[in-house]
Amino acid sequence: MNFLLVYAHNEPKSFTASLHNAAQSILTQQGHQVVTSDLFGVGFHPVAERYDFTTLSGEHYNYMNEQEVAAKHDLAYSPDIIEEIQKVKTADVVLFFFPLWWNAPPAMLKGWFDRVLTKGTAWDGNHLFSTGLLRGKAAGVVVSVGDPENFYRPDGLHKATVQQMLYPLLHGTLAFCGFNVLEPFVAYGLTAANDFGIQEQLRDCSVRLSNIESNPRFIYKF
Amino acid sequence: MNFLLVYAHNEPKSFTASLHNAAQSILTQQGHQVVTSDLFGVGFHPVAERYDFTTLSGEHYNYMNEQEVAAKHDLAYSPDIIEEIQKVKTADVVLFFFPLWWNAPPAMLKGWFDRVLTKGTAWDGNHLFSTGLLRGKAAGVVVSVGDPENFYRPDGLHKATVQQMLYPLLHGTLAFCGFNVLEPFVAYGLTAANDFGIQEQLRDCSVRLSNIESNPRFIYKF
């Protein structure tokens, strides 16, 4: 299968980097084609603006409308967006590696969603959720969390699970575009983790990723 | 009172811009001091990285740890972060104006949270939620949503409310730092709105903002 790994961490020695590197090596060993978008590494620009389009409709400027117009004009997007769209089109599975910052993806990764999953290539008014333009592909997140798991319970500090925190991404973005969304892999408690805990989480993640086709689907329950 | 308006839209003719402009004018008329951070206007940089610090601890690099170290070294942050921290410190009320993109704030605004609400100035291990370092201040969001309200119901397209989508921000970020969080003002249905609907929503928002002290508090229920 073709894998796209979208990796968003600013530090090569981070645990998120280790998770990404482990995934890359396991999936490659299994004979998959693996491509990485290293967003911090390439200095990806996360801000959605007019320069994202090589043509403008001339109508009242609205970013989403311009996305749709550009899709119809042979992908009239800036080159960095076209490159990412092509990677997504080629992929059977897209995996996102990121740290949970403010209970959400870092701005760098949010900008990838804002700019790359365009109206006209990832979804449109007639193609969303089960009919989304990326249907048939799978998507999953591998997320590093500083706090321990018991902080992410109804009676814990955050009063919600990480899955609930990520609902805007898992359901509101990935499922919206038609992806089959996998149950997230969450590495908890990294702030206080020792080497042993870290190695164990790396191993758990590797096991999950080496059996990607039998991974559970994300089913959201409030 | 001192108001800080954090405004994040890439288009001056947008409805989000109209909401911000109306707020600025009403609050000023009422005799408040009003300062705006126009993130797209000033080209705010939303990516959290090493250049955010003028000193580095020399230990294993971790963004959050560096935030805390810099806070103890007379705010050893880059000048754009210091400027925003000072604005937040001066403010009694911080209001955020943004469009809902992928059921979350645009990357530009996410980057403001990532970089400005630092460990050491907005919160730390001993100061969060009711003891957060920004306690005593109020915060609210004014958010523009393309889809109609009935899409944001348990039985609607998104299967969750906008308040649930914004939980990582309202509870997981703003309440976490100690802010008294106001019930969000949500302008729905903008994709299909006509002039009348838009004027009505602008008026509703103005009424809410002109009675800010009697605004309901955000109480989250899953």
Let me know if residue A209 belongs to a domain.
yes
- What does the CA dihedral A144, A150, A154, A160 come to, rounded to 10 degrees? -10
Question: Would you list the DSSP string of A57-116?
Answer: -SSS--HHHHHHHHHHTT--B-HHHHHHHHHHHH-SEEEEEEE-BTTB--HHHHHHHHHH
Let me know if residue B152 belongs to a domain.
yes
- Which residue of B39, B47, B127, B128 to mutate against A (max A Cβ within 10 Å)? B47
Q: Is B9 a catalytic residue?
A: no
Q: Per-residue pLDDT tens for A164-187?
A: 999 999 999 999 999 999 999 999
Counting the structural domains of chain B, the total is 1
Which residues of A are known to be catalytic? Answer: 146, 152, 158
Give the count of beta carbons closer than 10 Å to the beta carbon of residue B217.
11
Nearest Cβ partner for B114 among A48, A101, A169: A101
**pLDDT(B62) > 70:** yes
Let me know if residue A219 belongs to a domain.
no
Q: How confident is the model at residue A195 (pLDDT cuts 50, 70, 90)?
A: confident
Q: How confident is the model at residue B222 (pLDDT cuts 50, 70, 90)?
A: low
- Look up residue A125 and give its two tokens: 């008014």
Q: Per-residue pLDDT tens for B176-185?
A: 999 999 999 9
Q: What number is the ipTM of this complex?
A: 0.96
**pLDDT(A107) > 80:** yes
User: Residue A186's domain is classified under what CATH number?
Assistant: 3.40.50.360
The letter for the amino acid at A16 is: T
Percent of chain A with pLDDT over 90: 87
User: Which of A65-79, A191-205, B112-126 has the lowest average pLDDT?
Assistant: A191-205
Residues of B with Cβ-Cβ distance to A107 under 8 angstroms: 46-48, 107-108, 110-111, 114
Let me know if residue B157 belongs to a domain.
yes
The range of the structural domain enclosing residue A146 comes to 2-214
Q: How confident is the model at residue B221 (pLDDT cuts 50, 70, 90)?
A: low
Q: How confident is the model at residue A212 (pLDDT cuts 50, 70, 90)?
A: confident
Higher pLDDT, A191 or B121: B121
Let me know if residue A220 belongs to a domain.
no
A105 with B110: Cβ contact below 8 A: yes
**What DSSP character marks residue A152?**
S
**pTM exceeds 0.95, yes or no:** yes
Let me know if residue A222 belongs to a domain.
no
- Which residue of B53, B60, B61, B62 to mutate against A (max A Cβ within 10 Å)? B62
Q: How confident is the model at residue A147 (pLDDT cuts 50, 70, 90)?
A: very high
Let me know if residue B53 belongs to a domain.
no
Give the count of beta carbons closer than 10 Å to the beta carbon of residue A131.
11
Q: Per-residue pLDDT tens for A113-124?
A: 999 999 999 999
Identify the pLDDT of residue B220: 63
Which residues 32-91 of A are in CB contact (within 8 Å) with B?
Answer: 40, 46-50, 60-64
Residues of B with Cβ-Cβ distance to A172 under 8 angstroms: 102-104, 158, 160, 165
Let me know if residue A144 belongs to a domain.
yes
Give the count of Cβ contacts less than 8 A between chain A and B.
Answer: 138
Distances (CA, A) of A39 to A44, A45, A138, A182: 5, 8, 20, 22
Q: Per-residue pLDDT tens for A62-78?
A: 999 999 999 999 999 99
